[in-house]
Copies of this chain bind each other. A is one copy, B any other.
Amino acid sequence: MALFAGRIGLLAEKMSISETQPTDQAWPSRVAILGVGLLGGSVAKSLRRYSPRLQLVAWARDESKQERLRALGLFDDVRISITDAVQDCDVVVVASPVDRIAELVRQAVAASPANCLVTDVGSTKLGIVEALENDPQSREKFVAAHPIAGSERSGVEHSSSDLFDEKWIVITPGQSTRRSWVEKAAAFWQLTGGKTREMTPKDHDTHLAAISHVPHLVSALIAKVAPPDARPLVGSGWMDITRVAAGDPEMWAAICQENRKAISYELQRVRQEFDHLQKLVDNQQDEALRDWLSDAQQIKKHSP
């Protein structure tokens, strides 16, 4: 926690919620999820744990998805129209791929009640927040969020009620987001079992490029370069390093598109370190290589 001091504002885990905010489980009483995959499904399942009376609404783009969602038995209502889905809701969660979030938020904001919080789960934040800051209605009702939880598996069938338990959920308000709505968003996200933290969209995107987006690309790269005739021999190390490479290419390509600048910068930083590593190996600097490995080991051992 101390590492964040100065750069990142913190929301205490147990926030003192201002008097205008709901404090009991009567709120929210109706939540819509727009885009029910791994994350959207897990939001619904985690909320369901705290209140069997909570009304959960799903939005599905087409009839076949609508039927699949109905068959799940998780939602009280499944709608094809966004306007229908968000009606009478206290909270709307947009859980689509990042390149469609801003547009869906705009539609949800326009169609939902005045006091309805609209939030999202996007892995990138700056582009989304900047796009919506220009929209007067969205500025009022949208608070951006990113639960740092996921899986290489996608789809609602892999969602789970404990996906967010004890995980960080980063709240990234825009410059004009009202304080009370930031707190409302934090209170909502804490209902999923996660811990909330506040950060600027830019800091979020820079940090996530370094610890999520670029590591993901490197994991895919390690899978990609494995020679076909060596692959049958892979051990548990390779399996773990490449686990996330099984993730959805559409989703990750969209993340790279949205967070291109920070990812590009971070790739350059990795490349510099890579060149340094290559020199240590090629120049037989074996003691320096051992120290380099030792540094990495210490960082790893002191990570959460």
Contacts and interface: CB of A to CB of B under 8 A. Distances in A.
Contact of A150 (B237, B287, B304): B237
Interface string A1-32: 10110011000000000000000000000000
Contact of A278 (B241, B257, B264): B264
Interface string A159-186: 0000000011010000000000000000
Given A170-B233, A234-B304, A253-B290, A297 B210 contact: no
Copies in the complex: 2
Interface residues of A, number: 93
A156 interface: no
A9 to B, nearest CB: 13
A111 interface: no
Interface of A: 1, 3-4, 7-8, 148-152, 167-168, 170, 197, 206-208, 210-212, 215-250, 252-253, 256-257, 260, 263-264, 266-271, 273-275, 277-278, 281-282, 284, 286-287, 289-297, 299-301, 303-304
